[in-house]
Chain A
Amino acid sequence: MNTKTCGASRRAVLAAGLALAASAITGEAAAQQPAEVKVGLLVPLSGIYSRPGQVMRMGAEMAVEHINAAGGIKALGGAKLKLVQIDAGDSTEKAKNAAQRMVAQEGDLVAASAAYLSSFTLAVTEVTERAHLPVLTLSYSDLITERGFKYVFQTSATAAAQAETALPEIMKLAEATSGERPKTVAIITDNTAASVASVKPMKERLLKQYGLELVVDETWTPPLADATPLVQRVRATRPDMLFFLPTVISDAKLLLEKMNEFGLAQARIPVISFGIAVAEPDLLKNMSPELLQGVMTVVGNWGSKGHEALIEELRNKYDEPWMTQNAISTYGDMWIIKEALELAGKADKEAVAEALRSMDLTSGPTKYFPGGRMKFDDKGRRVDASFTIVQWQDGLPVTVYPPDLAMAKAFWSKK
């Protein structure tokens, strides 16, 4: 009995001593190395949306490497960024659970980037708003920044805003390259949230405003089983341009191939999409580049002029042939967070949120987003957020708008 107590206390003393020694060592280490600042990345890493989620991760990882290599957060004594990755899964419930887990178990996060699909972003930000964690998102949905939230920052122009500002630019582009102003348009869209949000303002007023007659108006629910009736209607009406809004890559492939069968490919009827689906690398793996020639899409962001080094690095490191919005925007998000930390001067989520609200830059992270300014309005929308138009040219989707980012000139084929 006696020896037992004695032994126990001896062990306790030993343990305490070791702990002391350990803390001394780590304390020393902490003093030598600047502290880490944790940044969250909550995107789908499993399930059907894992592919875009992984591309977002590539962008984030690259950015964190670059920021740390360039000396970390200077205002925090060169503190390094540390990326905390959380899988949003493949359903709204899982995304919300992941967000709850993130705020509950990663309490020292200062900001996060989330969550690809707009319905995931909506659910995730319900959680982060209540936890006062600032979240940057590339999702388009207008609803995200219409709820009066204070901790969500939308770097892309919203779907409605994109439609609103893109349509006149498309008209200009058509006039400039073909010499004619389009008069008729066909709209073929799937019924996902993003597509519907883009099409709705067009049908409600924009088409009328620009004197466009809607000759085909078709909606499908993914996955598309047969594109023949849709393409037949397009061929029968011969519109001056076709707005084609798929979300699923296989749908895009199906319709574009059918267009070719009907002799409408090579932009014989100019095809303009909204969103990233028609310019994903995966599309090129499944269909020949000739069929994509001339197809355009309006995207919130794209790896463009001035990003050549990044595009090159992404290709070498991750084998991604070009830089989609998912990569460049998430890359830029990390730089925005870095800038906010510099402004805040402390690794605190409230301070970072406040810095994001008051930020007004024309340099730094601004170059990773179209629009030329890094400022968020009361709703959390980026002021002057512009968009890019990307066109397939010789097997590569290149930026053709805005002019300062364009890597090639757009072409507009005639009927």
Chain B
Amino acid sequence: MRQDRSLLAILVFAVVYAALSLTVTNSYYQLMMTLVLVWATMGLSWNLLSGYTGLVSFGHAAFFGLGAYTVALAQNYFGLSPWISIPIAAVLGGIAGLVVGLPTFRLRGHYFALAMLAYPLALLYVFEWLGYQEVSLPMERVHPAAYMQFSDGRIYTFIALVILVLVMLVTRRVERSRFGLALMAIKQNEAAADAAGIDTLGWKLRAIALSGMIAGGIGGFYAVVLLVVTPIAVFGMLVSAQALTVAMFGGVGTVWGPVIGALILIPVSETLHAELGAWVPGIQGVIYGCAIIAVMIAAPEGLFWTLRDRFFKRAPAAAAEAPPPSPENVVAWSAQRPRRTVGDEVILDVKGLSKSFGGLKAVQDVSFQVRKGMILGIIGPNGAGKTTVFNLLNGFLVPDTGEVLLNGRNIVGRKPHQLCAMGMGRTFQIMRPFQRMTVADNVLVGAFVKAATDEEARRLAADAIRRVGLADHADEIAGGLATRQLRLMEIARALAGQPEILLLDETLAGLGHGEVDDVIAVIRRLADEGTTIVIIEHTMQAMVRLVDHFLVLDHGAVLVDGEPEAVTRDPQVVEAYLGKKWGAYAHN
């Protein structure tokens, strides 16, 4: 239903725009209508990579310029019509995306943005060095239409509109598929996405290739519109900036943002230039800049999101707080910890695991076993190496020595998303929900690793949501959830990947007293249903009621390994790390 509506919106937009362009007879306004579409498409290209993955690119001019030069040079040297060379330009843009992406994705954040900045600048000099300072597309007098040359400017607008609508449909499809969810997951937390089974490098490469294709194609079309290609005009900083500006202004991470941005910014900038340029030369830039600053202050996430939040806000989630799952059980469990029977089958076998960071021995010779169906609690003071152990287990870090056997197979050296596919799920100490996505979509991200089809993924996600007791909240936006629900949602995301063993990193942190009991109840039920659980915590109180077995770490080494009763009575543990109070609690 929602999908149909958004498709309809795109079609309505296209029809209205086409109808509007039919009524425009002034060739200057026609050119403007074409350029709006060109820059909207370029903004969408930028958005596809940077908007969804959050990896800001200052270098989209590289793809754009390659496309423009492909079309210009193909016509000059091979007499190739833009009808053929624009698709070629798109393919070349895609290849350029891969070539750029492979080395550059090793960088993150600002470093990625800066590295991207270098590509168009380098290409600019390369094309100057090659002697292509000015390339003009020859005027075809015999068969102009065969070379995409029309005296009626509206035809350019229609071609641009077809390209834009295609790109919008592609973007929309990406947004709604596992591709888009993977990119959004990368944007929120690349590590978490990796741990949730997403092949982050693979998806990022696909994104930059597709983005490069779009930029290359529209760059080729731009050459047809401008008819003159110069390095500055197509590789210049302004091109990258324009793509970024329309997307940021309109709203990133949505198909409509760049379109809205281009619809407003391009005509405004041009009108200012036309009206004020000859009057007070240069004043147009000042006014334009100030207007952008003002709008960005008022709508920092872009117009689309700000307007949507204002006019289409969903009912706040907190209003209808659902009761915690199975309250009667919670009471029983918190009263006393029933003994659970755990099988003998060892699912995870850790042998002599060590990891140093320079001189700091974060983990030293840690060995332990996890049996199927067990809840293992790893405790220890801050800095004891608990999270490092998790990072070694799920592949974020490679141990210096030791091995980790998952169902008898050594998994050292494998990537997090591969381990996730092998059945190692994990959550994080610091929650990174995908704020703007619904609970269902948040969990869906974790389901793709095990699901062949989107259909199956949705089923797995729904199942995971049900298991943690969030079924009533499935359609709410994650940004509106309470901490307890977010913790449960994170567990559900890990669960959706059908893990055999689930690593929970401080899942109970930051929860109130009653909330801890709710979450404990859920974890116990998961264990009862057959999921093996390893949980890190430094608060002892909740753990003694939850786990079957304790592993106490200190300074990266195992201090005690044993049953809760034994551990909590161990004077070493009690006095040095936990305090006498907790020991007394365990005795009761």
Contact = CB atoms under 8 A, between A and B. Distances in A.
B228 interface: yes
A147 to B, nearest CB: 6
A184 interface: no
A109 to B, nearest CB: 13
Interface stretch (A72-80, A81-89, A170-178, A252-260): A81-89
A93 B233 contact: yes
Given A45-B281, A147-B136, A147-B139, A92 B230 contact: yes
Interface in B252-274: 270, 273-274
B14 interface: no
Interface in B112-170: 125, 128-129, 131, 133-134, 136, 138-139, 141, 151
Interface in B328-381: none
A411 interface: no
Interface in A129-160: 129-131, 141, 143, 147-149
Nearest to A92: B233
Interface in A30-66: 45-47, 50, 54
B16 interface: no
A75 B132 CA distance: 45
Interface stretch (A99-107, A321-329, A367-375): A99-107
A97 interface: yes
A193 interface: yes
Contact of A143 (B136, B141, B277, B278): B136
Interface stretch (A119-127, A332-340, A356-364, A396-404): A119-127
B128 A119 contact: no
B311 interface: no
A196 B130 CA distance: 11
Contacts of A50: 281-282
Contacts of A200: 131
Contacts of A87: 273, 277-278, 281
A391 interface: no
A96 B226 contact: yes
Interface stretch (B25-33, B98-106, B292-300, B385-393): B25-33
Contacts of B79: none
A23 interface: no
A221 interface: yes
Contacts of B136: 122, 126, 143, 147
What bracket does the count of chain A residues touching chain B fall in? 35 or more
A94 interface: yes
B226 to A, nearest CB: 6
A118 B134 contact: yes
B317 interface: no
B139 A191 contact: no
Contacts of A93: 35, 226, 233
Contacts of B277: 45-46, 86-87, 89, 98
A250 interface: no
Nearest to B32: A97
B232 interface: yes
Contact of A45 (B35, B138, B278): B278
Contacts of A94: 273
Interface residues of B, number: 35
A93 B64 CA distance: 14
B27 A91 contact: no
A221 B27 contact: no
A92 B28 contact: no
B67 interface: no
A221 B125 contact: yes
A192 interface: yes
Nearest to A102: B28
Contact of A193 (B134, B139, B227): B134
A143 B236 contact: no
B126 to A, nearest CB: 11
B240 interface: no
Contact of B133 (A85, A98, A119, A123): A119
B207 to A, nearest CB: 27
A321 B217 CA distance: 49
A92 B274 CA distance: 15
Nearest to B133: A193
Contacts of A126: 136, 139, 227-228
Contact of B232 (A91, A104, A118, A143): A91
A148 B140 CA distance: 10
B284 interface: yes
Contacts of A101: 28, 274
B233 A91 contact: yes
A100 B30 CA distance: 9
Contacts of A97: 28, 31-32, 35, 270, 273-274
A191 B129 CA distance: 7
Contacts of A192: 133
B125 A123 contact: no
Given A50-B281, A85-B278, A92-B228, A104 B134 contact: no
A130 B151 contact: yes
A334 B131 CA distance: 34
Nearest to A146: B136
B477 to A, nearest CB: 40
Contacts of B31: 96-97, 100
A89 B232 CA distance: 14
B307 interface: no
A91 B136 CA distance: 15
A220 B151 CA distance: 40
Nearest to A191: B128
B514 interface: no
Contact of A100 (B28, B138, B273): B28
A191 B130 CA distance: 10
B227 to A, nearest CB: 4
B285 interface: yes
A219 B131 CA distance: 12
Contacts of B230: 92, 119, 193
B271 to A, nearest CB: 10
A98 B273 CA distance: 9
B238 interface: yes
Contacts of B284: 46
Given A92-B228, A97-B32, A129 B139 contact: yes
Given A45-B277, A87-B281, A118-B134, A149 B139 contact: yes
Contacts of B233: 91-93, 119
Contacts of A104: 26-29
Contacts of B128: 191, 221
Nearest to B124: A221
Given A97-B28, A130-B151, A46 B226 contact: no
Given A118-B134, A192-B133, A92 B27 contact: no
A384 B25 CA distance: 42
Nearest to A85: B278
A147 B136 CA distance: 8
Contacts of A54: 281
Contacts of A118: 134
A100 B27 contact: yes
Contacts of A193: 133-134, 230
A93 B125 CA distance: 20
A50 B284 CA distance: 14
A383 to B, nearest CB: 24
Nearest to B149: A130
B281 A119 contact: no
A383 B510 CA distance: 85
Interface in B215-229: 226-228
B270 A105 contact: no
Interface string B188-229: 000000000000000000000000000000000000001110
Given A46-B282, A96-B228, 10 more contacts: A46-B281, A54-B281, A87-B281, A96-B31, A97-B28, A98-B274, A100-B31, A104-B26, A119-B233, A193-B230
12 contacts: A46-B284, A87-B277, A89-B277, A98-B274, A101-B274, A104-B27, A123-B227, A129-B139, A131-B27, A191-B128, A192-B133, A193-B133
Q: Which 6 A-B pairs have the closest CB atoms?
A: A87-B277, A193-B133, A104-B28, A46-B281, A92-B233, A126-B227
